Amino acid sequence: MSTGPARVVINLDLPGPTISRHLYGHFAEHLGRCIYGGLWVGEDSPLPNTGGIRSDVVEALKALHIPNLRWPGGCFADDYHWRDGIGPRETRPRMVNSHWGDVIEDNSFGTHEFMALCELLGAQPYVSGNVGSGTVREMSEWIEYLTRGDDSPMAGLRRRNGRDEPWTVPFWGLGNEGWGCGGNLRGDAFADLARQYATYVRDHGDNTVYRIAAGANADDYAWTESLMKALGPVEKTSTPVFQAVSFHYYTMSGDWQDKGEATSFTEDEYYRTIAQAHRVEELLTRHSTVMDRRDPHRRIGLVLDEWGTWWNVEEGTNPGFLYQQNTLRDALVASLHFDAFHRHADRLVMANIAQTVNVLQAMILTDPDTGALVLTPTYHVFEMNTGHHDAAALTAHVLDDQTRDSDGLTVPLLSASASTTGDTALVSLSNLDAGQARSVVLDLRGREMREHRARILTAPTLQSHNSPETPEAVRPRPHEALTPHPRGLLVDLPAHSYVTVSLTLGA
């Protein structure tokens, strides 16, 4: 097997579409310990908090420059009635969280708490409205409550609850998984509902809402077609009733019955996972193709508002809480997704990993007993990629013959993407080979490279992960294995590693 240097060709002087920072969005649902115990501990907690919001979690997340936060679900969103989550906490009604553990939700984290969290994080709110079990009036009043400035009935109610100024709410979800937990509807029926609900999610004052219709499950292209058909032909000058359609895609090494283990997996399971993660590229291409037919000017955005790994829950934890550990394999799944996102920046306007804390592919895990906080390998990929936020995509042509067949799919073992802002560029490189180190020539064209600096995320094994005992088993370090090359730079990538190369550019 040849392991000669691969080549990644980048034309530094040909910037492409902007990689919206919103591709690095997040998702926090009322599920398990994401909100309660993760983000919200309450004002009486011994853990340092700001009005009940956990300070160390906020501090850690701020380093990721989270652009937007989706809330309150997920499946929970279509059971959620926002009026239950306002006013004095002690009088808020309780409800059953029937999707997630059948536990009692006391609504202590509601609209005001969510908006305070967004303000602390510097993130823009993405509110997911209830289509499945709510009413049009309920949704209409929620956006009025949040964003209206005058003395309207809902603005008055908000003031009586302690908030004078309206908030800015740029993103609004019309339902969630309408084909499943959001109502078990058929595509055309849901599309009509999305039109109806969108009509009443009004722009109040200066607030302009970007309405996102709940979309397909993975490769259900017919669902996307239903939503696009409902919009009618989208011309350059038309004002579509909703502005984006979403879809969801989760990565696992098994199937929905047995998704695979988070930390104990074989090399075969690793490659199966990587093969499944690669599928996101095909999904992005094919949903975009469906959209192109009715929206050739790309006015409607594609939003992947749930993605990430989904493993069997950690033994000994509530199966309804979806708590899982996070290894170097999860980090490589994330880096692969981001490379695909960057390549689709002309249509993909937002993506939200599921979920921020303690649920699925989380950034942060907190110990329920001691409160100890751990940053996951996935957190570090988000942090290493902040330089791609709002940068111009550069095409990274990967010339390499190393592949692996898994699950009927041929998986390239090297992944790359790049972007540029002003006089800088950032290159992301993933060596997905479980056992072989690789060398890569960065063939840099069109501009002079003046300086370079690299960081690496790797660990002894793919199963390596962080825990309260070993919080830094997987963390980024400076990477020195770069040498000048006539074409640019020669970069050595250890097996299963993620490397970012920051470049300072001349003319």
Residues that bind ligand AHR (CB under 6 A): 29, 73-75, 176-177, 306, 354-355, 360
306 annotated active-site: yes
Q: What distance in Å separates the CA atoms of residue 320 and residue 323, rounded to the nearest whole number?
A: 9
Q: Quick one: 356 or 419, whose CB is closer to ligand AHR?
A: 356
CA-based torsion, 238, 239, 241, 247: positive or negative: positive
CA distances to 23, 154, 228, 353, 384 from 305, rounded to whole Å, are 9, 28, 18, 7, 21
Q: Quick one: 39 or 441, whose CB is closer to ligand AHR?
A: 39
Residue showing the smallest CB distance to ligand AHR in the complex: 74
Q: What distance in Å separates the CA atoms of residue 491 and residue 481, rounded to the nearest whole number?
A: 6
E-strand stretches of 55-200: 68-71, 95-97, 103-105, 124-129, 171-174
Question: Which of 113, 144, 261, 306 is an active site residue?
Answer: 306
Element at 188 (helix H, strand E): helix 187-200
As measured in angstroms, the least distance from the Cβ of 387 to ligand AHR is 28
Residue of 5, 32, 150, 145 lying closest to 97 (CA atoms):
32
Q: Quick one: 10 or 354, whose CB is closer to ligand AHR?
A: 354
As measured in angstroms, the least distance from the Cβ of 308 to ligand AHR is 8
Residue of 164, 129, 121, 152 lying closest to 24 (CA atoms):
121
As measured in angstroms, the least distance from the Cβ of 177 to ligand AHR is 5
As measured in angstroms, the least distance from the Cβ of 280 to ligand AHR is 16
As measured in angstroms, the least distance from the Cβ of 160 to ligand AHR is 32
Q: Quick one: 360 or 432, whose CB is closer to ligand AHR?
A: 360
Ramachandran category for residue 48: left, alpha or beta (phi over 0 → left; psi -120 to 50 → alpha)? beta
Question: Which of 141, 177, 261, 383 is an active site residue?
Answer: 177
Q: Quick one: 226 or 355, whose CB is closer to ligand AHR?
A: 355
Q: Across the strands, what pairs with 97?
A: 103
Q: What distance in Å separates the CA atoms of residue 134 and residue 108, rounded to the nearest whole number?
A: 20
267 annotated active-site: no
Q: What distance in Å separates the CA atoms of residue 33 and residue 40, rounded to the nearest whole number?
A: 9
Active-site positions read 177, 306
